[in-house]
Amino acid sequence: MSKIIFNYGTMNASKSAQLLMTAHNYEEKGETPILVKPSIDDRGEYPNQISSRIGLWAEADLVDYGNIRKASIKDAWEFNEKPSSILVDEAQFISEKTILNITSFAREHNLNVFAYGLLKDFKNQLFDSSKIWLQESDNFIEIKTTCKFCQRKATINARVIDNKIVTEGPTVVIGAEESYVSVCRYDYEKYQNEEIKGEQNGNL
């Protein structure tokens, strides 16, 4: 029986690295899982690469430009000699149509789906696509990391502009002069009103 699992965590929680390690484990067993990524993720030298900050990378079989059809998933599945899993990177940016096509195809063909992504945006609101993953998944796994400024668990992806955490603006910004940090709720509220000091802020 297929399982749909949504692995979520804040930024810098090693989500892409864990996806790539999962892919490697399947390859060690003689399988090549289907790898899916959204087109908005432009990390790495090539747009069809899934890459992590620690230097791991792999080529994605499918890149979501708005909707990956079931026929495309079937083509990748047959090309990879019918593997038993689909791994999805940056799942919060995968379109709703593609999520439903992936999950329905997986259930039809008894495949496991491991989606990795953010649960909430910098305003601490659920991503629309993450809501769909929560609705469609059989299980949720939190990938934990600690706050940038203390030892509490990070639960929020904070956007930092001019050394302060901001809560207004577009949800997705490409190429902007700003940074993101993973923080706990306490520091999320604290640094909206207080400037982040350089020694606390690390590499921001």
Q: Which of 90, 178, 195, 199 is flagged as catalytic?
A: 90
Q: Which residue has the higher pLDDT, 44 or 96?
A: 96
Q: Which residue has the higher pLDDT, 120 or 49?
A: 120
> What residues does each domain of the chain span?
4-142, 156-195
Q: What distance in Å separates the CA atoms of residue 4 and residue 113, rounded to the nearest whole number?
A: 5
Closest to 13 in 3D by CA, of 142, 140, 126: 142
What ranges make up the beta strands (E) of the chain? Answer: 4-8, 34-38, 49-51, 57-59, 62-64, 85-88, 112-117, 139-142, 156-161, 164-166, 179-183
Fold assignment, 4-142: Rossmann fold (3.40.50)
Backbone torsions φ then ψ of 103, nearest 5 degrees: -70, -35
Q: What distance in Å separates the CA atoms of residue 104 and residue 58, rounded to the nearest whole number?
A: 25
**Are the C-beta atoms of residues 160 and 196 closer than 8 Å to each other?**
yes
pLDDT digits (tens, 9 = 90+) for 152-182: 999 999 999 988 999 988 776 654 446 889 9
Assess whether 96 carries a catalytic annotation.
Answer: no
Q: What is the pTM of this model?
A: 0.89
